[in-house]
Structure 1
Amino acid sequence: MKKEFTLQLSPEQAYDPLVFQETVLKKAGLPLDSKDVIARQVKRSIDARGRQVRVNVQAELFIKEQAPSLLNNSPSYSNVSNSDQIIIVGAGPAGLFAALRAIELGVKPIVLERGKDVRARRRDLAAITKDHIVNPDSNYCFGEGGAGTYSDGKLYTRSKKRGDIRRIMEILVAHGATEEILVDAHPHIGTNKLPKLVAELRQSILDAGGEIHFDCRVDDLVIEADEIKGVITQHGETIKGLGVILATGHSARDIFQLLHQKRVLIEAKPFALGVRIEHSQNLIDRIQYHCQVDRGPYLPASAYSLVSQTEFKGKQRGVFSFCMCPGGYIVPAATSPGELVVNGMSPSRRDSKFANSGIVVSVELEDLPQYQKHGPLAAMYFQEEIEKKAWKAGGETQVAPAQRMVDFVENRVSTSLLDTSYQPGLQAVEMRDVLPDFISARLAMAFKSFGQKMKGYYTNESQLIGVESRTSSPVRIPRDRESFEHLELKRLYPCGEGAGYAGGIVSAAMDGERCAEKLIAAYVKR
């Protein structure tokens, strides 16, 4: 027999398995020592709006029967080693899920990744942090798994138009993610667990006869009569296929430049730019959970989401939190020497003493009149210039420019900086010397506004660390709404974050699946 319950629980009742079991048994009117019963959570979300934090739980109780798996479908991959082949450029979430979907549809994917496999990639990440050496092909953005691998692994998305979110989650679980991601309202995996999961995705592709080539940057395109026939790699090898899925991520500037040089239609795209803000996690917990000392043993590290509308020189722009990492770390995310970029990540336990979030300002193309000479690359060159200024301000290493929050708003260089999770180190600067006026003025307005929404957020016990500039691609590669094919170049399928059609692991994965489906439906003979 199965019973279902909608419960509002205390953190202990929700997160302590034994207490949860007892709570459900009481709700069902069963003795606490009942045998052959299984209680489990199906959905869980935290409600911290009141003075007492509650956890909303949808639960199931199975009496004298086995609980079925939470997975509705287990993927099955037949061997495609001798099948028609397609080319996928990039082994991030979009590329990997495009490859898996191609295999499901009986087509062989050849995945070309400029970076290294997920394990070898660690050495290059260590070199950025310890020695301030940036490998332009292997870093926090490039390499197996893409930018998401060494990040929080946040899986929450509002994008439901391009695929089945549950399906993506179940594929992740089938490759090693915990079933908790099917339960939590805002699921995440964690930077410590993502690499193994990515390696399992790779193994599924290889076991089914697909190919993945690392250290294999695409340097040119093979175009004949308005059709893309294949690509040319850094090694001079020409690889051809029935079509090309371009899933390079939002930082592949060389690909954007290549497309522009080849007269392949691309467009400048609005994006967002700002800084990382770092507080102590305890401060954020006390604000969000209304606690006096700490959040206690049951509640997870708290997160926040903030947005403010600002006006500067007659123009309205949004300022918002981006990629908030509770219990996390700030990391160096540059993709070339001579630039400085920061990003956030968290381990699965989210147990760092720091909380960080991007706080970024919407940048519209009309904000960049002096860059219009660069045409569709205008926003990209603006982004690049700010990153170079940040690198110089930090001392021309991966030491990041920083400033305490109130000091920034009140226009004074901080005489000291706080402890930080950013391992390369910080340099106290006036961040207004790094950021354009229209960015820094809006950030200052927003910080005061955020302090009114979250009492205690606006404080000199927090600091700005710059710059957070890789929020999304500054370029869009236009495609047909229905076919997903490039508007002018046949057989090219722009995909994921780099093409301007996704904003995170799950939305990129869904977009990858749909691109594979569209390409195969159009060009693979059945």
Structure 2
Amino acid sequence: MRKEINLTLRPEEAFQPEVFESLVLRRANVPLGASHVSVRPLKRSIDARGRQVKVNITAEICFDESPTGTGIHKFPYPDVSAAEQIVIVGAGPAGLFAALRAIELGVKPILIERGQDVRARRRDLAAINKDHIVNPESNYCFGEGGAGTYSDGKLYTRSKKRGDIRRIMENLVAHGATEDILVDAHPHIGTNKLPKLVAELRESILQAGGEVLFNTKVVDFIIEHDHLVGVVTQSGEKIKGHGVILATGHSARDIFHLLHQKEILIEAKPFALGVRIEHAQHLIDKIQYHCQSDRGPFLPASSYSLVQQTIYKGIQRGVFSFCMCPGGFIVPAATSQEEVVVNGMSPSRRDSRFANSGMVVAVELEDLPGYQSYGPLAAMMFQSDIEHKAWEAGGKSQVAPAQRMLDFVNHKVSENLLETSYQPGLKSVDMHSVLPEFISSRLKEAFRSFGKKMNGYLTNDAQIIGVESRTSSPVRVPRDRETFEHPELKRLYPCGEGAGYAGGIVSAAMDGERCAEMLIAKYLPARSELK
């Protein structure tokens, strides 16, 4: 028999297993030490709205049986080494989960990745941080696991209609994530643990007979009678299949150029652009947890989510926090040498002294009148120009332009900058000269508003670092809402963040699964009926 109860506990009660178990049993009127009884949390969320931080928990008590959902094991994937195959371009979350779903359906995936495997990729990241050398094929955006692997590992998503969230989470647990991600309201794996998990996902694909090709760049498509049947790699190799899932991520500009050059329908889409803002983590803790000093051993590093509508020249646009990384680091996310792009990441313990978040402005196509001649690449070209401008402002290296927060609001160049988690270093500049006026003016207005919402947030003990520009893809590769297939080129299945249909690890993974299902259902229907 199982029983669920809801509790509101203090942090020291919720996060000490023995104390938690005794409180649950007491609340359920079960004697302590009763045999054949087990307790575990099912859902857990922190409520810091009041002066006293609380933890809301749904707990499960099991009598004479095992708890539900424990002992998760890898799916026994079938051998697809001799099966019919599909081509998947990009080994990020969308591509990896598309490959695993194809295997479940009895189809062999050929997974093509331009970058290096997750282990070798570390050398390329070190070269960016220490030597300011950007490998355009292997960096924080490109390589096994995609942008998420060496980013943050947050698993929260609102895309509940896109697929089975629980299924994705359990698959991650089966490949090495802790079961906490099945419990916490805002689950997180951590950039230090993701590489091993990604390697385990790859091993499942290989052991089932799938193929994973690293350092393999797609430079052309094989189109026969308006059907996309394969790709051509940089070495000239032709790889064919029953269809192509295009899961190349939001930064594969060469793929967008190729699509445009081949006259394959793509569209410019709105995105967001701004800066990373970095505070001391203890300051954010003090604001969010209402504590005067240390947050204590039981509370995690606090986060925040902010949004503000702003007016510039009579036009309203949103400014919002993006990918907030408590206890994290700011990293260089450029994909070519002459650009500066910043992103954020957090290790699993979130124990850095710094808190950072993207703070970005919504950019609509009507905001870019000077780029309309680029057609569907308009937003991408604008994005590229701003990143190049940041590179010039920082001194033509991976040193990032930066400014103290209040100095930015007051249009004052900072005499000096604060310590930072950004390894390549910072250069004090007027960020108003780096960002377009319609971006900087809105940020300035929003910062004032955020300072009122979070007392102490607007301070010269924080600094903005530019530019945060890879929030989402500036190009959409259209697809049919029902079939997920490109409306003009058959057998092309645009997928994940790069195509404009996801916004994070979980939503991209779900989208990958759905694309695999749709492709196989249409072009290999006998296989889709197996599962």
TM-score normalized by the length of structure 2 = 0.98
Q: Deviation digits for residues 209-239 of structure 1, max 9, x if unmatched?
A: 0000000010011112211121000111011
2:45 corresponds to: 45
SS in structure 2 of the partner of residue 103 of structure 1: helix
SS in structure 2 of the partner of residue 464 of structure 1: strand
2:212 corresponds to: 212
1:476 corresponds to: 476
Partner Cα separation in structure 2 for residue 139 and residue 496 of structure 1: 19
Q: Deviation digits for residues 457-508 of structure 1, max 9, x if unmatched?
A: 1111100000000000000000111110001101000000000000000000
- Structural mapping, 1:66-85, within 5 Å: 66-70=66-70, 75-85=75-85
1:158 corresponds to: 158
Partner Cα separation in structure 1 for residue 34 and residue 182 of structure 2: 27
1:425 corresponds to: 425
2:458 corresponds to: 458
- Of 212-221 and 1-10, deviating more is 1-10
Question: What is the total number of aligned residue pairs between the two structures?
Answer: 526
Contact kept? 1:339, 1:388, Cα under 8 Å: yes
SS in structure 2 of the partner of residue 111 of structure 1: strand
Letter in 2 for 1:179: E
Partner Cα separation in structure 2 for residue 42 and residue 70 of structure 1: 11
- Of 67-76 and 480-489, deviating more is 67-76
Partner Cα separation in structure 1 for residue 119 and residue 288 of structure 2: 37
Contact kept? 2:391, 2:400, Cα under 8 Å: yes
Contact kept? 2:89, 2:111, Cα under 8 Å: yes
2:141 corresponds to: 141
Residue 433 of structure 2 is aligned to residue 438 of structure 1: no
Q: Deviation digits for residues 155-191 of structure 1, max 9, x if unmatched?
A: 0000012100000000000101000000000001000
2:55 corresponds to: 55
2:180 corresponds to: 180
Contact kept? 2:73, 2:174, Cα under 8 Å: no
For residue 68 of structure 1, report the CA deviation from its aligned partner: 3.7
1:413 corresponds to: 413
Residue 386 of structure 2 is aligned to residue 360 of structure 1: no
SS in structure 2 of the partner of residue 19 of structure 1: helix
Q: Deviation digits for residues 287-328 of structure 1, max 9, x if unmatched?
A: 001111121110000110000000001110000000000000
Partner Cα separation in structure 2 for residue 267 and residue 383 of structure 1: 15
Letter in 2 for 1:347: P
1:342 corresponds to: 342
Contact kept? 2:278, 2:354, Cα under 8 Å: yes
Residue 394 of structure 2 is aligned to residue 394 of structure 1: yes
Contact kept? 1:74, 1:170, Cα under 8 Å: no
Letter in 1 for 2:27: K
Contact kept? 1:71, 1:170, Cα under 8 Å: no
For residue 525 of structure 1, report the CA deviation from its aligned partner: 4.7
Contact kept? 2:279, 2:354, Cα under 8 Å: yes
SS in structure 2 of the partner of residue 439 of structure 1: helix
SS in structure 1 of the partner of residue 59 of structure 2: strand
For residue 4 of structure 1, report the CA deviation from its aligned partner: 1.8
RMSD: 1.1
Partner Cα separation in structure 1 for residue 345 and residue 61 of structure 2: 36
2:302 corresponds to: 302
Letter in 2 for 1:249: G
- Of 220-229 and 50-59, deviating more is 220-229
Unpaired stretches in structure 2, ≥5 consecutive residues: 527-531
Partner Cα separation in structure 2 for residue 358 and residue 495 of structure 1: 24
Contact kept? 2:92, 2:247, Cα under 8 Å: yes
Partner Cα separation in structure 1 for residue 444 and residue 19 of structure 2: 46
- Structural mapping, 1:245-256, within 5 Å: 245-256=245-256
1:226 corresponds to: 226
Letter in 2 for 1:101: R
Letter in 1 for 2:457: Y
2:258 corresponds to: 258
Partner Cα separation in structure 2 for residue 194 and residue 72 of structure 1: 18
2:382 corresponds to: 382
Contact kept? 2:496, 2:512, Cα under 8 Å: yes
1:197 corresponds to: 197
Residue 86 of structure 2 is aligned to residue 91 of structure 1: no
Partner Cα separation in structure 1 for residue 58 and residue 148 of structure 2: 29
Letter in 1 for 2:487: L
Letter in 1 for 2:145: G
For residue 24 of structure 1, report the CA deviation from its aligned partner: 1.4
Q: Deviation digits for residues 238-267 of structure 1, max 9, x if unmatched?
A: 111100000000000000000000000000
Partner Cα separation in structure 2 for residue 150 and residue 114 of structure 1: 16
Partner Cα separation in structure 1 for residue 497 and residue 451 of structure 2: 32
Contact kept? 1:472, 1:497, Cα under 8 Å: yes
Partner Cα separation in structure 1 for residue 25 and residue 509 of structure 2: 39
Partner Cα separation in structure 1 for residue 321 and residue 477 of structure 2: 26
Partner Cα separation in structure 1 for residue 192 and residue 72 of structure 2: 27
Letter in 2 for 1:512: G
Partner Cα separation in structure 2 for residue 370 and residue 337 of structure 1: 25
CA shift in 2, pair 1:504/1:100, >3 Å: same
For residue 71 of structure 1, report the CA deviation from its aligned partner: 6.6
1:515 corresponds to: 515
- Structural mapping, 1:480-519, within 5 Å: 480-519=480-519
Residue 379 of structure 2 is aligned to residue 404 of structure 1: no
Partner Cα separation in structure 2 for residue 82 and residue 2 of structure 1: 45
Partner Cα separation in structure 2 for residue 185 and residue 172 of structure 1: 16
Partner Cα separation in structure 2 for residue 124 and residue 507 of structure 1: 27
Identity %: 75
SS in structure 1 of the partner of residue 521 of structure 2: helix
1:373 corresponds to: 373
Q: Deviation digits for residues 24-43 of structure 1, max 9, x if unmatched?
A: 12212344444443211000
Residue 479 of structure 2 is aligned to residue 467 of structure 1: no
Q: Deviation digits for residues 350-376 of structure 1, max 9, x if unmatched?
A: 000100000000000000000001000
SS in structure 1 of the partner of residue 359 of structure 2: strand
